[in-house]
Homo-oligomer: A and B are copies of this chain.
Amino acid sequence: MADDKLTEPHRATSADVARLAGVSRATVSFVLNATQPQRVSQRTRERVLAAAEQLEYVPHAVARSLRAGHTNLVLVPTSVSAIGRLVSGWLEDLHSELHRLGYTVVMHGGRFADLESAARAWAEMRPTAIFALAEERFTPEVVQLLRRSGVRALFTYAAAPVPGAYTVLFDHAEIGAAAAEHLVDRGRRNIGVVMPQERGLEVFAKPRLTGVRRAAVARGASVTEVPLDYAEEAAADLADGWSKLGLDSVFAYNDEYAALLMRAFQDVGIDVPGEVAMVGADDLLLGRLQRPRLTSIRLDVPPSRLIAQTLTQLIETGTAPPLPPMTATLVAREST
């Protein structure tokens, strides 16, 4: 099943290409990177390209980065599970856009004991930029550490400008607030807020809860936290004990959790939206497949091309014009 690997194959370097083409390494570099085009004659250029082709030469990004003083890596630290269908397609576009611009996007989903060790792990890779989907990663200490390791651009979505990083403003509290306002408008006064227990989601769950609290308090409604595992039995248990909670509505973190809970409600005969009004978030297709269809909250993410442009500019010049804040829009359907 494993390979023999007896013939530790020779990896061709630019020196090999130079030797085969009968020129110096410098010339090879000039040709392959198309720098100083007038320095190399047509004949020589062709010889070099032919040699590179013949040897299947692949540049050594590590060596290049060392010399250049920076990599072309854009690091996206994110737990895989936090990427729902909401961002996966978008992230893939970003990959492509940045690839066109000469950057390599890599995602890194490690769990770390603390922020500092995470930041150190990122810094070791010497990415040229770090693109964080959640804000709380960029504390001042982390920012300093990363900057000093040579990271050129820190990009994040956050509720308030993050010092030392380029911030696209968006407060997840707005999602919670929009949900709460809507529920109160529909006459609900006792709002349950589903808190997912999955690792990596609290980054979004907490501000969403905060938003619900803020809006609810302002309108005289009560808020109750409701922890929920992403599992059938957990939802069933919650539905079983639901009447004791005295709640008339739920904001369910996102549409996935909403769907899970709605099923449990329906299984025990709790009427949605009659007894309980439900709001999800992220406006996933899943939500529209529910009956009643889920009221949800749509996030309008900036087009990935625009983000890629901004990031590039940020890397190259250290600054970029601000992007408009992200917005959230409530989409009312049948569950409220």
Contact = CB atoms under 8 A, between A and B. Distances in A.
Interface of A: 1-3, 5, 9-12, 56, 58-63, 65-66, 71, 79-81, 83, 85, 88-89, 91-92, 95-96, 99, 104-111, 120-121, 123-126, 145, 147-150, 154, 161, 163-167, 199, 230-232, 259-260, 263, 285-286, 288-289, 314, 318-320, 322
Nearest to A7: B147
Contacts of A314: 2
Greatest chain B CB density within 10 A among A62, A259, A285 is at: A62
Contact of A95 (B109, B165, B263): B109
B161 A1 contact: yes
A95 B110 contact: yes
Nearest to A9: B148
Nearest to A199: B92
A1 B148 contact: no
The 4 closest A-B pairs by CB, nearest first: A2-B319, A106-B106, A80-B88, A61-B124
A333 B167 CA distance: 48
Query: Chain A at the B interface: mostly helix, strand, loop or mixed?
Result: mixed
Contacts of A61: 124-126
Nearest to A164: B3
A308 to B, nearest CB: 13
Contact of A285 (B10, B149, B232): B232
B111 A96 contact: yes
A204 B314 CA distance: 38
Contact of A83 (B80, B149, B154): B80
A286 B84 CA distance: 14
A124 B285 contact: no
A60 B124 contact: yes
A124 B59 contact: yes
A159 to B, nearest CB: 14
Contacts of A154: 3
